Amino acid sequence: MSEVTIKIDKKEIKAVEGESVLNVARANGIYIPAICFLKRTSASMACKLCMVEADGKRVYSCNAKVKEGMDIVTHTEEIEHDRRKIMEAYCVNHPLQCGVCDKSGECELQDNTMFQQVYEQFQAVQDTPRHISIWGSVKYDGALCIMCKRCITVCKEMVGDDALTTMARGGAEIDEEKYNKETMGKDPFGIWKAINKNLIDKKIPNPDSRENPCTDCGECAAVCPTGAMITKDFQYTSNAWELESIPSTCAHCSVGCHLYYEVKYESIGNNEKKIYRTKNDFHFQSICGAGRFGYDFENRARKDERTFKKAIEAFKEAKTIAFSSLITNEEALILQKLKEKYGYKLVNNEAKNYQNFLHEFSKTSGNSLYTGSVDELVSSNFFVSIGTSLKSDSPVLRYSLNNAVKMNKGAAIYFHPILDPLIDAMQKNILSVNHPAGKEEAVVYYLLDMFANKEALPQEIVSYLDSFKSETTETVEEVVKEKVTNKEGEEEVVEKTITKDVKKIVNRLYEEMGVYITDDKEKEIEKLIAKKDKYSLIVGEDVITHPRSKNIARLLGILEKTSLFKVVIVPPKTNSLGVALICDLDDSKEGYCVGYNAEGDFRLTASGATKENELDMPALNQQEGTFVNVSRRVVPLNPALDYKGFTLGDIANKLEIIFEYTVDLTEELPQEKGFKPICFDELGSGFEVSGFENRGYQIQPIETKTSESVEKIAHIDDIRGTVVYRCNPIKQFSAYTAKSTILASDPIPNGGWADNIYASEEFLVANKLSDGERVRLSSDGVQEELIVLKGEKIDGKIALVPNFLGSKLFSDTDYRFKDVTIERVDG
Amino acid sequence: MMEREGIKNYIEVDTRTRPVSRWQQFTQVVRRSVSIELLKGLKIVFGVWLKDESHTLIYPKEKLPLGPRYRAVHKLLRLVESGNERCIGCGLCEKICIAQCIRMETKIDEDKRKEVVDYSINLGRCIFCGYCAEVCPELAIVHGGRYENVSEQRAHYVLKDDMLTPIDLLKQQEEFPGYGAISPDADSKIKKTPLEY
């Protein structure tokens, strides 16, 4: 992309070719009004407010691309007149209920009406009753809708659910003799006609099944410029201006999205702060349903001196500290310091597993970390995802992938053993390849075969890959048309069947992958890859927990080094990456154990102490600190709510590791791992108008020596029979999401409870089970009783076992697919 | 300043002749001692008393009437027709309050409407500026005439139940003519919106 110079309102501006005029103007602080515009999606041209004059011609700046030497005027008398007319049209029949509307104070319709100084209306049309619907956690009120279609756009092009569509509104028609292009102007009239024609409706792709593609992320409500779409948890609880916005980071998964906690006093009699909602900068960052609705997981505990003393005793007695990855970098550093001082064993199997994976990866990639990030992902045009159920593991990565495929005219291949109806429905250019569980190693070899630069690959791998290929000759019958001169001297076309020997390469790698890839599919894949230049690879938890993870990590390292792929190895839990970078982890527990959000003889818990030997800790929305998210970015976490109890810092101070505030340790994070000596208060926490993310800083991979060799595909036992998959329901990640009462009252059955398993229809039929029955799952002598529910959005013969509150059947480090025996429990 | 009857609004210059000789002084003392000037004042007092023309307010039995724009402790009004609360919980009073002494709690009620659960004004902070009454789009919060506050706690006056017109006293509720009320010429100032039906 080349750089061009354009003029906007006589100001010279440098921009990248292909960028929209509106984006360029906004990035440079020039205001052009627009309602339907969303920065990261295509222009829907529904509001037409963004019209400008480019070289004397009227264009819509959201859609017009910058060209060298363009001269743009954003305000002329005509344009101003038309903009005012459009706003007048929007105000006709818009209910005057700003007083009780939740959007009042942050409503773009209000803002633009004031900005265009609309004080009078000149048009009228008879109003029609419009439907009020409740879709999951979102309430839609058609009367307030101005048909900007932002919700439809964001759902299709960002989230990828494509769950919304338009419907005919019906009702009175506009009197076109009175109001027409001449009396109103072309654009305002067009807008007015459009808003009186349609309404938003939920899309039902298949009327036979009641299943709807919506995953209840609430992004449609976030982007709605008016109060037409409101999340039910927030409705009528507060006015926008009363809330204090605290920029922070979502604590639920490793994507670490930027969000704002919006807080206010709890009630008239109670001055304590309460989170009323979360908000996201929807132009730059989308968040999933867990982030949007699962915010009420704070710990309201007070100081309990007695238990605190017990905790100190426990620490003095302990040999091991077990902890989960739901902690900040600073806390991880405290634990590391405790280890250095007192020789504790630090046990976090899930992070250790991830750490090992990164370590093996760095041995062959030559970098201490992977080089991909969400930014890279969004700017890529070819994607491969392997070993992750994107919609549950990291929804926002799925959004980014969907968005990038759409906006960059990209393509993607989704390797996973489970069919995902959501992925299949996202974009045409996303191909699902369903390999049997356990074949990820072969899949990575396939990726090496397809994408690696053969010259850069080690010779042994090239010859190994070649060993799968054999040339065969096939006899193919073909019908050929031939021109023949017949007896009368005329030319005639005659069809002839001939047999031909065709040389064909048979790749036995497909057998190893357990996938039957036909010639057609091969061609399809070739088509997907054609003309792509920026590659991203998403690697998920299936691979990290795979029995052959060590070898796969090395293969991935080679893949990153020898191909165009930028790899993202998704950390399994919120701050697994931070913990993996900061802590020296041990393999197993020893002696008396203190557990921090983990099992132990004495427990520190952020989800509320219930027993004698438990001390309360602040939840992640009450803590100040940093995370390392999937983009290797050190992102700040600002406390939304006060915490009145003891923190890990208090314990550390008692144990003679002295500092005043936990965030004093932000500067001390290990620089040899790529952290920078920047103090917490200097970390940025948001996006600039141009979309530049100034949140924290990114850890750059450090070069390492490469040495290790790789192994061939090893045979692991087939996982067949009754296969279950460790996977949380959409919007559930951890004890925090489980604590959220808003998520618990979720209207979509998938947002669920820890003692359910979610089975596909096929699974229920195959095991002769029905919805709601109690079953006993057992594997390797471990048993667990659960209730089987028919889950939505699951295809194939599979059941999902959630472990967001832990699972007996699965530990965090077990391979996510398991062969189990399932039996009905009577009674 | 009001001019009351019997009081001259200027300084009187004493032009009386003063006694000079000892004899003159003696006769003045005798004249004053035996004349009835002492009783003249008593006569005026008795006269006013008998005619009941006193200017003194017998507080707290008697109170001065208040002007409509007087700003004392707030009241929350009801709709006269239905008895429903006028307040819709729009929060403008809370927003405009320069002393930041208004708090309200709202929720969605059974009829899916916005309900004001509780409302309070911190009288310790309130400066009785009248902005809340002026900004209220529903004429729900107004200033009342209650300026006498005796209690152990300020909060006793300013919870929702204290301010809201009791439903049984709805008939006594008067339309508020003060701050924020519609001006008599309001109709002439309105720009009418066209209607198609």
B34 plus B79 within the same structural domain: no
> CB B120 to CB A172 under 8 A?
no
pLDDT band at A6 (very low <50, low <70, confident <90, very high): very high
8 Å CB contact between A350 and A324: yes
Domains (range + CATH), chain A = 1-75 (3.10.20.740), 323-348+588-698 (no CATH), 356-468+512-569 (3.40.228.10), 470-507 (no CATH), 723-824 (2.40.40.20)
Please state, in angstroms and rounded to a whole number, the distance separating the CA atoms of residues A308 and A613.
10
Quickly list DSSP for B5-31: TT--SSPPP--PPPP-SHHHHHHHHHH
Partners of B90 on chain A (C-beta within 8 Å) are 98-100, 104, 239
**Do β-strands A132-135 and A138-141 pair in parallel, antiparallel, or remain unpaired?**
antiparallel
Range from A365-374, A678-687, B31-40 carrying the lowest mean pLDDT? B31-40
Average pLDDT over residues A679-705: 92
Partners of B119 on chain A (C-beta within 8 Å) are 268
Q: Taking Cα atoms as reference points, which of A712, A714, A758, A696 lies closest to residue A732?
A: A758
Is B192 a member of any domain? no
- CATH number, domain at B110? 3.30.70.3270
CB of A123 within 8 Å of any CB in chain B?
yes
> CB A98 to CB B90 under 8 A?
yes
pLDDT at A133 over 50: yes
Average pLDDT over residues A90-105: 92
Partner residues linked to A536 by β-bridges: A383, A566
8 Å CB contact between A792 and A749: yes
**Do β-strands A320-323 and A469-485 pair in parallel, antiparallel, or remain unpaired?**
unpaired
pLDDT of residue A827: 61
> CB A121 to CB B193 under 8 A?
yes
Please state, in angstroms and rounded to a whole number, the distance separating the CA atoms of residues B82 and B64.
33
Please state, in angstroms and rounded to a whole number, the distance separating the CA atoms of residues A54 and A76.
11
8 Å CB contact between A607 and A298: no
Phi, psi (degrees; rounded to nearest 5) at A24: -65, -45
Please state, in angstroms and rounded to a whole number, the distance separating the CA atoms of residues A701 and A366.
9
B151 plus B101 within the same structural domain: yes
Continuous H helices in A94-185: 108-115, 150-153, 181-184
Partner residues linked to A413 by β-bridges: A384, A431
Is B92 a member of any domain? yes
3-state secondary structure of A550: helix
Please state, in angstroms and rounded to a whole number, the distance separating the CA atoms of residues A628 and A620.
14
pLDDT of residue A746: 63
B80 plus B38 within the same structural domain: no
pLDDT of residue B1: 42
B28 plus B108 within the same structural domain: no
> CB B114 to CB A268 under 8 A?
no
User: Residue A698's CB: how many other CB atoms inside 10 A?
Assistant: 18
Is B103 a member of any domain? yes
Q: The tokens 């803590």 sit on which residue?
A: A623
8 Å CB contact between A425 and A205: yes
B37 plus B112 within the same structural domain: no
The set of residues, in sequence order, having a beta carbon less than 8 Å from that of A185 and lying 6+ positions away, is A81, A82, A85
Q: Which residues of B123-142 are buried (b: 16+ CB within 10 A; e: fewer)?
A: beebebebbbbbbbebbbbb
Type of residue numbered B150: V
Residue A264, Cα to own-chain centre: how many angstroms?
A: 28
8 Å CB contact between B178 and B68: yes
3-state secondary structure of A155: helix
**Do β-strands A799-801 and A756-759 pair in parallel, antiparallel, or remain unpaired?**
antiparallel
Please state, in angstroms and rounded to a whole number, the distance separating the CA atoms of residues A333 and A346.
11
CB of B138 within 8 Å of any CB in chain A?
yes
Nearest to B114 among A123, A236, A242 (CB): A236
8 Å CB contact between B117 and B105: yes
> CB A236 to CB B195 under 8 A?
no
CA angle in degrees (0–180, nearest 5) for A703-A709-A710: 115
Mean pLDDT value across chain A: 91
CB of A235 within 8 Å of any CB in chain B?
yes
> CB B196 to CB A126 under 8 A?
yes
8 Å CB contact between A17 and A2: yes
B107 plus B40 within the same structural domain: no
> CB A100 to CB B89 under 8 A?
yes
Mean pLDDT value across chain B: 86
Is B155 a member of any domain? yes
Domains in chain B: how many in total? 2
Mutation target to probe the A interface, by most A beta carbons within 10 A, among B90, B112, B158, B159 is B90
> CB A268 to CB B105 under 8 A?
yes
Please state, in angstroms and rounded to a whole number, the distance separating the CA atoms of residues A18 and A26.
15
Is B65 a member of any domain? no
Please state, in angstroms and rounded to a whole number, the distance separating the CA atoms of residues A716 and A719.
9
8 Å CB contact between A636 and A304: no
Taking the CA atoms of residue A17, residue A23, residue A25 and residue A29 in that order, the dihedral angle to the nearest 10 degrees is -130
Q: Which domain holds residue B27?
A: 22-51
Q: Please state the ipTM of this predicted complex.
A: 0.81
End-to-end Cα spacing for chain A: 67
Structure tokens at A259: 């969000």
User: Residue A327's CB: how many other CB atoms inside 10 A?
Assistant: 30
pLDDT at A595 over 70: yes
B79 plus B165 within the same structural domain: yes
Partner residues linked to A724 by β-bridges: A799, A818
B104 plus B168 within the same structural domain: yes
Pairwise pLDDT comparison (B99 vs A745), residue with the higher score: B99
pLDDT band at A431 (very low <50, low <70, confident <90, very high): very high
B43 plus B91 within the same structural domain: no
Range from A45-59, A243-257, B33-47, B73-87 carrying the lowest mean pLDDT? B33-47
Structure tokens at A649: 């810092």
Q: Which residues of A158-169 are buried (b: 16+ CB within 10 A; e: fewer)?
A: bbbbbbbbeeeb
CB of A244 within 8 Å of any CB in chain B?
no
Average pLDDT over residues A578-590: 95
Is B195 a member of any domain? no
B31 plus B110 within the same structural domain: no
Please state, in angstroms and rounded to a whole number, the distance separating the CA atoms of residues A778 and A790.
20
8 Å CB contact between A485 and A492: yes
**What is the distance in angstroms between the Cα of A412 and the nearest Cα belonging to chain B?**
44
- Which helix (H) or strand (E) covers residue A190, if one does? helix A186-195
pLDDT of residue A516: 82
pLDDT band at B25 (very low <50, low <70, confident <90, very high): very high
> CB B103 to CB A237 under 8 A?
no
Residue A280, Cα to own-chain centre: how many angstroms?
A: 13
pLDDT at A748 over 50: no
CB of A122 within 8 Å of any CB in chain B?
yes
Average pLDDT over residues A98-126: 93
CB of A175 within 8 Å of any CB in chain B?
yes
pLDDT digits (tens, 9 = 90+) for A244-302: 999 999 999 999 999 999 999 999 889 999 999 999 999 999 999 999 999 999 999 99
Average pLDDT over residues A790-802: 87
CB of A99 within 8 Å of any CB in chain B?
yes
Residue A124, Cα to own-chain centre: how many angstroms?
A: 44
8 Å CB contact between A794 and A787: no
Pairwise pLDDT comparison (A326 vs A706), residue with the higher score: A326
B34 plus B91 within the same structural domain: no
Average pLDDT over residues B6-10: 70
Mutation target to probe the B interface, by most B beta carbons within 10 A, among A127, A268, A273 is A268
Strands (E), B23-113: 74-76, 102-108
3-state secondary structure of A276: strand
pLDDT band at A751 (very low <50, low <70, confident <90, very high): very low
User: Residue A470's CB: how many other CB atoms inside 10 A?
Assistant: 11
Please state, in angstroms and rounded to a whole number, the distance separating the CA atoms of residues A417 and A797.
10
CB of B153 within 8 Å of any CB in chain A?
no
Mutation target to probe the B interface, by most B beta carbons within 10 A, among A140, A231, A239, A264 is A239
Type of residue numbered A657: I
Is B81 a member of any domain? yes
Structure tokens at B160: 């929702």
B118 plus B38 within the same structural domain: no
8 Å CB contact between A242 and A255: no
pLDDT of residue A749: 46
CB of B95 within 8 Å of any CB in chain A?
yes
**What is the distance in angstroms between the Cα of A239 and the nearest Cα belonging to chain B?**
7
Q: Could you write out the three-class secondary structure of A106-128?
A: CCHHHHHHHHCCCCCCCCCCCCC
8 Å CB contact between A790 and A762: no
User: Residue A38's CB: how many other CB atoms inside 10 A?
Assistant: 21
**What is the distance in angstroms between the Cα of B164 and the nearest Cα belonging to chain A?**
17
pLDDT band at B6 (very low <50, low <70, confident <90, very high): low
Please state, in angstroms and rounded to a whole number, the distance separating the CA atoms of residues A376 and A368.
18
Type of residue numbered A193: K
pLDDT at A209 over 60: no
CB of A271 within 8 Å of any CB in chain B?
no
CB of A125 within 8 Å of any CB in chain B?
yes
The set of residues, in sequence order, having a beta carbon less than 8 Å from that of A730 and lying 6+ positions away, is A215, A216, A289, A391, A392, A395, A748, A750, A751, A793
Query: How far apart, in Å, are the Cα atoms of A443 and each of A380, A467, A532?
Result: 21, 16, 20
> CB B88 to CB A242 under 8 A?
no
**What is the distance in angstroms between the Cα of A101 and the nearest Cα belonging to chain B?**
8
In chain A, count H helices and then E strands: 26, 35
CB of B139 within 8 Å of any CB in chain A?
no
Which chain B residue is nearest to residue A125, measuring alpha carbons? Answer: B196
Partner residues linked to B104 by β-bridges: B119
Q: Taking Cα atoms as reference points, which of A268, A269, A249 lies closest to residue A259?
A: A249
Is B8 a member of any domain? no
Phi, psi (degrees; rounded to nearest 5) at A440: -60, -30
